[in-house]
Amino acid sequence: MKLLAISDTYIPAEVMAAGLASLEELGVEVEVRSWEHGTLVELQRANLAIEQGGPGAVALPPALIEGVGEFEVVVVQFAPLGRTVLERASRLKAIGVLRGGTENVDVAGATERGVAVLNTPGRLARAVAECTVGLMLTEIRNLARGHARLMGGQWDRAFPNSEDIPELYRRTVGLVGYGAVGRLVARYLEAFGCRILTYDPYLEGDPAPAIRSDLATLLVESDVVSLHARLSAETQHLIGAGELGRMKPTAILVNTARSGLIDEAALIEALAERQIMGAALDVFDREPLPPDHPFLRLDNVTLTPHLAGSTRDGFRNSPVLMAGHLARLLRGERPLPVVNGVQPRL
């Protein structure tokens, strides 16, 4: 059986090959090809275009998909697999995506062809969860603003929230979305002594240490609202002007998930008018963030350049996790992280 893996700047070819090497013991011939970008920024720009426009928004170089009809499995992280590629992959049985989201794959097209699509849930969960808590503290305690002022020669402790700087202890944090990242954030916040609410319509089982909530209640009661939901047609602009209007004027909003979960224009207005105290954002509708963007004129935001999941550990472990899923697939073991309901047969 032949497997084609397409590496990228975040998971280079040697890391991809090493992570999938265990499959060779099961008779899998692994070939790694590299989707090259000059910088991480260029890759992020391509990834954002794919997330917003679908897998057909960015074309792969022809050399990357040459002879794709010979492979039964294709493994990618960010590389797009659109309808054109799938039509040429006549022997394809399974696609492995080295992240939780599958926006870079034509899942509907794969389903029509009986191709199973597997993801890698939770592969960067710890990295994103740790960064999320860091952003909460950074925004509430003015860590980035204080640093920037000192670097500019100012000893200044006057901030937008100077009259009401809280501790996380006994504060209410609302988590919108309670998958792998949300659950880890909840565990970290439990150690801070927080009361934790969660809204997730797909949540099953006991959410402890969080308390199940509806969205309206969560927004009204939370001192921190943190987003961890998947972006879909249902969750696009889940947080808009109405939702921001329900939040406490002393509350902050944190987003390390997808920018489309928030109506950016509504958030900018809410921050400018002090409807909420502040926000900490790692994702944006336009990336890189343009130098004239309204966010950059606000004094009550903490902004980071889409780096929440960017840890060496998380990226290097992704091919290893997928190799484990594919090994179980070859051995006929279940369950598997199949996102489109097609049971793969290899």
pLDDT at 101 (0 to 100): 86
Active-site position among 33, 126, 258, 325: 258
Over range 194-214, report the average pLDDT: 97
Domains of the chain: residue spans and CATH:
2-123+311-330 (3.40.50.720), 125-303 (3.40.50.720)
Active-site position among 287, 316, 328, 331: 287
- DSSP H stretches of helix in the chain: 13-20, 40-53, 83-88, 107-112, 125-141, 143-151, 180-192, 215-221, 241-246, 264-272, 312-330
pTM of the model: 0.82
pLDDT in tens, 240-294: 999 999 999 999 999 999 999 999 999 999 999 999 999 999 999 999 999 999 9
Over range 295-320, report the average pLDDT: 94
Active-site position among 126, 145, 228, 306: 306
pLDDT at 281 (0 to 100): 98
What is the spatial distance between Cα 256 and Cα 129, in angstroms, rounded to a whole number?
Answer: 9
CA 33 centroid distance within chain: 24
- DSSP H stretches of helix in 199-259: 215-221, 241-246
Q: Is 204 a catalytic residue?
A: no
Q: Report percent pLDDT > 90 for the chain.
A: 90
Q: Is 333 a catalytic residue?
A: no
Q: Is 258 a catalytic residue?
A: yes
